[in-house]
Amino acid sequence: MLVNLNEVLRPAKKNQYAVGLFNAVNLELARGIINAAESSRSPVIMGTAEVLLPYGPLEEVSYYLLPMAKKASVPVVVHLDHGLTFDICEKALRLGFSSVMYDCSTDTYEENVRKVKEMADLAHSYGATIEGELGHVGDNEGSAEGSSHLEDPSKYFTDPSLAKDFVDKTGVDALAIAVGNAHGAYKLPPKLDFERIRTIAKTVDVPLVLHGGSGLTNADFRQAIKDGISKVNIFTDINVAAVEAEFKKFSSMEKGLIDLIPAAVEAVKLATLEKMKLFSSDGKADLTSQGNTPMSADDLEKITKLVAAEVAKYLKN
């Protein structure tokens, strides 16, 4: 079933596990991801990112991701990762993506707040969710995300006190944080600032997102999730697993591409399954908060104000 981020991340935050985002820029990736989710009864987030659009245009990706998500026996979020422009995020929402990330993390703080708030209102009007980023997650060399190499990444770490202000002002449903993580394959072992994760998790209510998950150790993941991470983005690992399997199969290939497709699907499934078990999202498919999400005090206050305003208008006429 197609769901949004709140439906899979709120129970994850509450029960201290994380849901993976796996990018699915082609059918083999999408099938491997869905197979892994269904076979382990795990909720899952799949999608694409603006920098991956040259490998699969947004419309084309939506033609298979959305029906596959709807047909799946487990909750599936179809998410646009790192939307860099208003137009691409809006297009994803129009196509039916249930979630978008609007990454304005390279803008000034004020611009980040202004742009993300505008997109949050739009996404919510579609019943979709939105992720924002505060601080800046840099890139390792050759990362699919781009090339923002940072000389001193700690200068861009998320400031916990700003995080609360950012979430309150924008209305984001999930927050990507910079705590020593980076996109792509790491050259040197990364060192995560777990203390910072704990502080931010205590300061803001919304689930926290760890980008650049490929290359962290299993112990890093377990600790980060224990400290308050509810969503982890994975791409490099499944991207490489698929091509390694195809390469291996190539030597015994008989009929051509059709020998390689199932090999890639199976490899993606196995690599995804491994992460789902590591993040403890396996067996959690029935824990979605779909339909019974208690209304937050903030939402209740907003609705009360809206109703009061409408009543006042009516009485004036």
In terms of CB distance, is 47 or 171 closer to Zn ion?
47
Give min distance, CB of 298 to Zn ion, in A: 27
Q: Which residue's Cβ lies closest to Zn ion?
A: 211
Query: Cβ of residue 212: shortest distance to Zn ion, in angstroms?
Result: 6
**256 Cβ partners below 8 Å, 6+ apart?**
none
Residue 63: CB minimum distance to Zn ion, A: 24
Q: How far is the CB of 82 from Zn ion (least distance, A)?
A: 5
Residue 179 DSSP symbol? S
Name the residues that contact Zn ion, by CB under 5 A.
Answer: 211
Segment holding 83, helix H or strand E = strand 76-83
Nearest to residue 231, comparing CAs of 73, 10, 80, 34?
10
- Residue with smaller CB distance to Zn ion, 117 or 231: 231
Q: Which is nearer to Zn ion, 19 or 72 (CB)?
A: 19
Of the two residues 18 and 260, which places its CB atom closer to Zn ion in the complex? 18
3-state secondary structure of 208: strand
Give the E-state strand segments of 2-71 in sequence order: 2-3, 19-23, 44-49
Contact 32, 242 (CB under 8 A): yes
Question: Which residues are known catalytic residues?
Answer: 81
CA nearest to 177, candidates 146, 203, 147, 151: 203
Determine the straight-line distance between the first and last CA of the chain, rounded to whole angstroms: 44
Q: By C-beta, is 79 or 211 nearer to Zn ion?
A: 211
Give the C-alpha distances (Å, rounded to integers) separating 176 from 98, 197, 229, 257, 261.
Answer: 18, 11, 9, 38, 33
Closest CA to 283 of 6, 36, 31, 24: 36
CB of 145 to Zn ion, least distance (A): 6
